[in-house]
Structure 1
Amino acid sequence: MRILFLISSLIIFSCFSAFCQDKNTISGYVKDASSGELLIGAVVQVKDTQLSTATNSYGYFSMDVLENDIDIIASFVGYKPFFVKVNVSNKKRLAIELEPLDNMLEEVVVSGKKRNNNVTDAQMGALNFTMEEVKNVPVLFGERDILKTIQMLPGVAKGGEGSSNFYVRGGGGDQNLILLDEATVYNASHLMGFFSTFNSDAIKDVALYKGGIPAQYGGRASSVLDIRMLDGNNKKFAAEGGLGLIASRLKLEGPIVKDKSSFMISGRRTYADLFLKLSNDEKVKKSKLYFYDLNAKANYRFNDKNTLYVSGYFGKDDLGYGDLFSFDWGNATATARWNHVFSEKLFSNTTLIYSDFTYNVNVSSDDTKFKIASKIENFNLKQDFSYYRNNSNTFRFGIQGLRQKISPASLDAADNSSFNSIDIEKRYGIEAAAYASHEWKPADWLSLIYGLRITDFMVQGPGTFYDFDDDGDVIGAEEYGGSIVKHHLNLEPRLSMSFILNPKNSIKLSYNRIVQNLHQLTNTTSSLPTDQFVLSSINIKPQYADQVAVGYFRNFADNAYELSLESYYKYMGNQIDFRNGADLQANKYLEGELVFGQGRSYGLELLLRKTQGRFNGWISYTLGKSERQFDLINDGKWFNARQDRTHDVSVVAMYELTKKWSLGANFVYYTGNAITYPSGKYSVNGNTMFYYTERNGYRMPDYHRLDISATYEPKPAHKRFHSSWSFGLYNVYNRKNAYIIDFRENENNANITEAYRIALFGAIPSVTWNFKF
């Protein structure tokens, strides 16, 4: 309540302060002159003054100026600065186009923002990247992957060897909100996690929020990963792609109506399944092992005030062995967005979104024939406003309505099968939300971002809702029609502050509460396509997380080096886990198998980054602890979360050796995941049974690995055609990192149980030919 009172007081005072001023205002968009692509985070500044601003997620900016005749400078990383004289009384809206540099250094920087923005901005726990900025980071199979790159940032833990899954500041994997053009992506991995769903050729900008999460985001308790697709080239037709050992990709883009509309379509597919056709085994020939994904986007600019965007994504994995077994899963998203400029100060974004995730399992043998299918989908309507009152005051506010439907894993068995069919009821929910936030700079030494989000999650019928006793047994049931069964109303305050000691030093503070009504049930550290989703209900309360953080930020050597040191504490309420011995698959009483408790995580994060010159990269270190407590697990004592890691280190280095050759390397080390091992064994009727004591009381072996890469980009033989070769070696010294630790009886003495390690990857070379024209 004290935090709510503080935020309310700030809103009243700052609104009064903001509306007591009146100045000239200029606004507009900043674009790439060669493609017409809107640039996110480009800096627009009045020459010889401290007046500056940055473009928002849609390339739009607004800024108040004191004089009528001014000189404007616009800049963005990798582009030539743009200078223009403006008479504000004659021209209030600008269309700025920046020319790309001919020889652009590959820098890893916060894209396009002021060089000391990491010090002066109130936002903390956030990083922005473009795909160009991470192109030389070595990754598995040579495929550029933004999810593998963010795993090398402080506070972000890896899901395991080769996995795209990640954990932020001790939270669960399901507590990360992953957005693609504002649409939710439920499962962000291909091939059981070894590739992510995000084709790098189709991505423009990536923003990761670990703390101080802005009020416009909600629904996940730990982090937000906001990914924006390219709009498409509205100047000329272009193509880009690559041929690799595992997968190939192709992107096409061009104008529909030059300078007014454009399209972009990008596809990727693996072809391991083609080699299966060479087998002499008929079952192997009929087997399937591939994934594909498709990104598409189009836009149309009606005039300076109205632009319509339509985008979509579809991806699918297909695995199978002959006619005996098949398993496929995939995501689909669609976004329709209308940007409208009411005035130089008021910007509107209206968005209609659809997302879904499905999986299907088919098993067919002589006496076993069944199918398991599951689906989760949502429809989402958002209305967002940005009001740029003046250079010191920006207001953001909006509303959102989301309808969620889950079709749990049901089992459909054939009549002659040894299984019986099980049909699980669908579950429905409606989430309504409203938010308001204010970015305020009351003094040169102080910046604030604060706001409030209000959510009402409505559990909706039709369906039968069960009551359970303490042992998880059904003690009652009530059937509902399409009415609202229960409301979960929550307030989510947000606050970030930056105390600027000088242009090179600052101290930042943040607090946020986030509520989560969609829960993913898993018992592994790698998110699987078959993991189940449940909504908040009569028995399941919304998860929530309260996080406080403090950080020190400093730049060195004319902003060439950036240092940040952040400490955080996160309390997590209404956490979910399984009872011991829970029955999880096709269980209509699944809620009775769940237990509820609490969690906490705390840690220290260090990031040292070099952002300029031929040699650049970063060093990341996280010291952390993540724990859970449930009355019915581990005798009610606190225990390590599965993703708990004491130490996590990443070193990333990139070097431009010559104009043709660029080198990259990264080294990762982290403490092994917490895991539950048997403490003993006993025999029952001749069968060996293992005895377990403390939950997650043991550790996997420590993990470490070195990767290297080299990129060769010869001088183009033709000015329109460019190509390059990328070479990589994953796990250079062939470390056999443990993927699974299992137990077996000693061959010579059945009374001795021995542990053995299963490793997934050794050293893996890769080569890819990339082209662009």
Structure 2
Amino acid sequence: MNRIILLLIFLIGQGAWAQTTAPTKREVIGRDIGQLKGIKISGRIIDAISGEALIGATVTVPELDVTKITDNNGSFELILDRAEYTIQFRYVGYETIDYPITAVGDGRMSIRMLQEDFQLDDVVIFGRDPEKNIRSTDMGAINLNMNTIRELPPFLGEIDIVRSLATLPGVSQVGEASSGLNVRGGGVDQNLIQFAGAPIYNPSHMFGLFTAFNADVVNDVTLYKAVVPARFGGRSSAILDILPKAGSVDKWGGDLMLSNYSGKLSLNGPLIKDKVSILGGFRLSYINWFLNSLSNPTVKNSQANFYDGNLVISAPVSENNEFTYSYYTSYDDFAFASDTTISWKNTAHSLQWKSKLSSRLSLEALGYYSLYDYGIFNQSGINDFEIKSGIQDLGGKLFLGYNFNETNKIFFGGEFKQVKIQPGELVPTGAEQEILPQKVQDELGQEAGIHFQHEFELGEKFGFSYGIRYDTYRYLGPRTVRQYEETKPVSDGSAISETAFGEGEPIQTYNGLGPRASFRYSFSKSSSVKLGYNKMYQFIHLISNTATIAPTDVWKLSDNFLEPQIADQYSLGFYNNFKGNIFETSLEVYYKDLQNVVEYKDGATLIMQNHLETELIPAEGQAYGVELYVKKNLGRLTGWVSYTYSRTLRRVITPFEEENINNGEWYASNFDKPHDLTLIGNYKVSTNTSISATFAYNTGRPVTFPEAKFDYSGNNLAYFNSRNQQRIPDFHRLDFSVNFKLKGKGLFFDGDWTFSVLNVYGRKNPFSIFFDDAENAPPQALRLAILGVPLPSLSYSIKF
């Protein structure tokens, strides 16, 4: 198999080389007549203050109607005839530069761009090519810049990156206090969320009320939900890539934000003038005053705390080489009625080197270490205990890119990672204990992957992108593995023997070939159709009977019982821009086939379980949907409408009838919500005042209600028949905010004041359903609402 892959890559590379090395007629003429044609103008665009490369900036030659996009190093290249031109440089949030040149020979330029102060009304700067959604072969790639996110109503006074993505088609969350994203029928664990290249396992504060990323230190956010570039692997649904800002190499500055629930501060400046910059950010909550003011005695006696911090050191040692070190940490603890405390913590380090080895060849190398710790602490005074769990993720990546020309590029590379999981350790903490210490066996796995991708265009009509990724995975000892009777379901009672594997000894190996391809046909400069296919493998699973990430969930590696998840996705989309790109529209349909999805047996015990295979059942899944997106980019009123109709289904069929769920029929997954509608509006009242509103509606997610109850040894027990056959009430909510940009004489007043109201009309959207016993009747369903009343917030932010 490896030889076949290498041969395929070799043949593809040879074909690309044969296609591009022969000189074109234009190049030959240019050489023959003394550089009248084929003049190469290259350059790099950076932030004038920080020296940070501006990735995805647009470089336009209006006289030729040509637009180029800067690469990951901020570089661009133009091929011109000998003549006079005016080159336009544009990037969102920055002043547009018109640069007149006379092209008489090859040359290189360095462009420094300043941030726009946004003083003018009715002026919109396109930060990226406004026709990129039409011309690129990317399908399902969503890029949100921070200026767009800041226009949305803040959540409890904060700009929320993850919730902003959930306003887009095909992306949702299961409730108001839920962490993670559900992307096109995928679970929250099927998304790889990485910050500066390092994976983050729990991207939430306070069980999802806040996102664990400080927007003041974030530069760029990209979500891949359809055809994922071959460089990404390890998850079966989507990739969320978050890149940090770099500090200024010129002078010191910062941001301060205070609200009635949390506050944050960031500082940046030169460590070495014009050479090395540093950026630091810190955020913390003081929400306990709000909890203590509530009338519910249980909530009133609860305590919640969180903080997160960032440190970014950037060293652009030369025009072609840049080193970046990023540190990220977040911490949460929640004490429920001063009895049980739940805590979780993320820590991530990454070191990146970007290099432009030549005008055509670029390199990116990255190493990272990520740690996720989570635990439960019981301090009731009776049988006190602590349950500790954690994940260590250590890896490295290498990417290379080669540009034959502006319309013909290849990318290739590889990565390796090692994941160690401590599923759980029970430690008694009291003086007198009836609980015995217990430890679940650790898990160790290694993943490796190589990848290749080729992107090219044939004229203005056709664009192609195809790639392949080969993933291999090993499950390693030390571990004791059970063997079970083949004629019985896997359970404690069917275990017949055990095998002990030594440290580093292979227990199980999996590998897979993941092709990705997309095709674009342009009807005109304003409309196109795209077709895509994507196959991905996932070797880690979130074992949970809830619909969102919680600290009590268990992460599990694939082993000889639990096979890797495999997803095949097919996508078709139509894209059209109107009135000079003022309006941007898209219509996409997709179908996703899922294999080896994890489901749990009825009554499963997931915490402190040494043999999880006895509680789990492999399932198959399918997801399909239609996504509609309409966005208005220009004018006083901007915003978008997104609507998704989708279904996410599961089915469990095993050789043993007692293990089948719902008699082997298809049933809705925990996060199946057929209708999902979001309306976003932002109105600029004046140059210093804007109003924004968000309305969201979606179908209630599935739940399982008890259908009867019976008496067993004097205890009333609920009887459940079919899984996920009922739904909680539909979700809908209106949020509103007003932003004032004040320009006073004093430093304090030179900032932004934002007043917002969440849940304007006080909708009691259920976060979960629980049941209470009623005499002579089935258990009664009751709803738990997190935000059942309008919740105002006021925040003040300033740059200095």
TM-score in terms of structure 2 length: 0.91
For the residues of structure 2 that align with 1:65 and 1:463, how far apart are their CA atoms?
64
SS of the residue 2:707 aligns to: strand
Contact 2:42/2:78 (CA < 8 Å) preserved in 1? Answer: yes
Equivalent residue, structure 2, for 1:605 = 627
Q: How does 1:311-350 map to 2 (within 5 A)?
A: 311-320=326-335, 324-350=339-365
For the residues of structure 2 that align with 1:363 and 1:78, how far apart are their CA atoms?
49
The code of the aligned residue for 1:479 comes to A
Equivalent residue, structure 1, for 2:780 = 754
For the residues of structure 1 that align with 2:42 and 2:51, how far apart are their CA atoms?
17
Equivalent residue, structure 2, for 1:691 = 719
The change in CA–CA distance for 1:709 and 1:286 in structure 2 (over 3 A counts) is closer
The code of the aligned residue for 1:471 comes to V
Cα distance, 1:60 vs structure 2? 3.4
Please give the per-residue CA displacement for 1:234-265, whole angstroms capped at 9, x wherever unaligned.
Answer: 22111111110100000101112232221110
Contact 1:52/1:63 (CA < 8 Å) preserved in 2? Answer: no
Deviates more, 1:724-733 or 1:672-681: 672-681
SS of the residue 2:751 aligns to: strand
Cα distance, 1:501 vs structure 2? 0.5
1:476 has 2:493 as partner: no
Please give the per-residue CA displacement for 1:324-378, whole angstroms capped at 9, x wherever unaligned.
Answer: 4332211011110111111111111111111110012222344302111001011
Equivalent residue, structure 2, for 1:487 = 509
Cα distance, 1:90 vs structure 2? 7.1
Equivalent residue, structure 1, for 2:69 = 54
For the residues of structure 1 that align with 2:560 and 2:387, how far apart are their CA atoms?
26
For the residues of structure 1 that align with 2:497 and 2:103, how far apart are their CA atoms?
70
The change in CA–CA distance for 1:553 and 1:673 in structure 2 (over 3 A counts) is same
Please, which runs of 5 or more residues in structure 1 have no aligned partner? none
Q: 1:16 aligns with which of 15, 18, 28?
A: 18
1:564 has 2:580 as partner: no
Contact 1:551/1:567 (CA < 8 Å) preserved in 2? Answer: yes
Cα distance, 1:591 vs structure 2? 2.1
1:459 has 2:461 as partner: no
Equivalent residue, structure 2, for 1:151 = 166
Equivalent residue, structure 2, for 1:240 = 255
For the residues of structure 2 that align with 1:108 and 1:226, how far apart are their CA atoms?
29
Cα distance, 1:50 vs structure 2? 4.1
Q: 2:144 aligns with which of 118, 121, 129?
A: 129
Please, which runs of 5 or more residues in structure 2 have no aligned partner? 28-37, 654-659
Contact 1:507/1:552 (CA < 8 Å) preserved in 2? Answer: yes
Contact 1:163/1:195 (CA < 8 Å) preserved in 2? Answer: no
The change in CA–CA distance for 1:468 and 1:711 in structure 2 (over 3 A counts) is farther
SS of the residue 2:51 aligns to: coil
The code of the aligned residue for 2:794 comes to V
SS of the residue 1:600 aligns to: strand
For the residues of structure 1 that align with 2:275 and 2:462, how far apart are their CA atoms?
41
Equivalent residue, structure 1, for 2:461 = 445
1:705 has 2:726 as partner: no
Equivalent residue, structure 2, for 1:405 = 420
Cα distance, 1:109 vs structure 2? 9.4
Cα distance, 1:753 vs structure 2? 4.3
Cα distance, 1:88 vs structure 2? 7.8
SS of the residue 1:119 aligns to: helix
The change in CA–CA distance for 1:105 and 1:180 in structure 2 (over 3 A counts) is farther
Deviates more, 1:481-490 or 1:492-501: 481-490
Contact 1:111/1:129 (CA < 8 Å) preserved in 2? Answer: no
1:657 has 2:657 as partner: no
SS of the residue 1:401 aligns to: strand
For the residues of structure 1 that align with 2:685 and 2:446, how far apart are their CA atoms?
55
Cα distance, 1:45 vs structure 2? 3.1
Q: 1:256 aligns with which of 253, 264, 271?
A: 271
Cα distance, 1:164 vs structure 2? 3.1
For the residues of structure 1 that align with 2:108 and 2:615, how far apart are their CA atoms?
59
Cα distance, 1:687 vs structure 2? 2.1
Equivalent residue, structure 1, for 2:798 = 771
Q: How does 1:349-368 map to 2 (within 5 A)?
A: 349-368=364-383
The code of the aligned residue for 1:252 comes to L
Deviates more, 1:351-360 or 1:100-109: 100-109
For the residues of structure 2 that align with 1:523 and 1:88, how far apart are their CA atoms?
65
Contact 1:24/1:68 (CA < 8 Å) preserved in 2? Answer: no
Cα distance, 1:134 vs structure 2? 1.6
The change in CA–CA distance for 1:392 and 1:278 in structure 2 (over 3 A counts) is closer
TM-score in terms of structure 1 length: 0.94
SS of the residue 1:13 aligns to: helix
Cα distance, 1:392 vs structure 2? 1.0
The code of the aligned residue for 2:498 comes to A
Cα distance, 1:613 vs structure 2? 1.4
Cα distance, 1:449 vs structure 2? 1.4
For the residues of structure 2 that align with 1:755 and 1:701, how far apart are their CA atoms?
12
SS of the residue 1:659 aligns to: coil
Cα distance, 1:681 vs structure 2? 2.0
The code of the aligned residue for 1:209 comes to Y
Please give the per-residue CA displacement for 1:21-80, whole angstroms capped at 9, x wherever unaligned.
Answer: 476655443122244333221012345224432123443334555659865332112323
Deviates more, 1:662-671 or 1:324-333: 324-333
Contact 1:165/1:173 (CA < 8 Å) preserved in 2? Answer: yes
The change in CA–CA distance for 1:361 and 1:592 in structure 2 (over 3 A counts) is same
Contact 1:728/1:766 (CA < 8 Å) preserved in 2? Answer: yes
The code of the aligned residue for 1:183 comes to A
C-alpha RMSD of matched pairs (Å):
2.8
Cα distance, 1:690 vs structure 2? 1.6
Cα distance, 1:679 vs structure 2? 1.9
SS of the residue 1:38 aligns to: coil
Equivalent residue, structure 2, for 1:647 = 675
Cα distance, 1:711 vs structure 2? 0.3
The change in CA–CA distance for 1:712 and 1:276 in structure 2 (over 3 A counts) is closer
The change in CA–CA distance for 1:285 and 1:144 in structure 2 (over 3 A counts) is closer
Q: How does 1:156-171 map to 2 (within 5 A)?
A: 156-171=171-186
Contact 1:148/1:164 (CA < 8 Å) preserved in 2? Answer: no
Cα distance, 1:92 vs structure 2? 4.5
Contact 1:51/1:391 (CA < 8 Å) preserved in 2? Answer: no
1:534 has 2:556 as partner: yes
Q: 2:763 aligns with which of 731, 735, 742?
A: 735
Cα distance, 1:174 vs structure 2? 0.4
SS of the residue 1:134 aligns to: helix
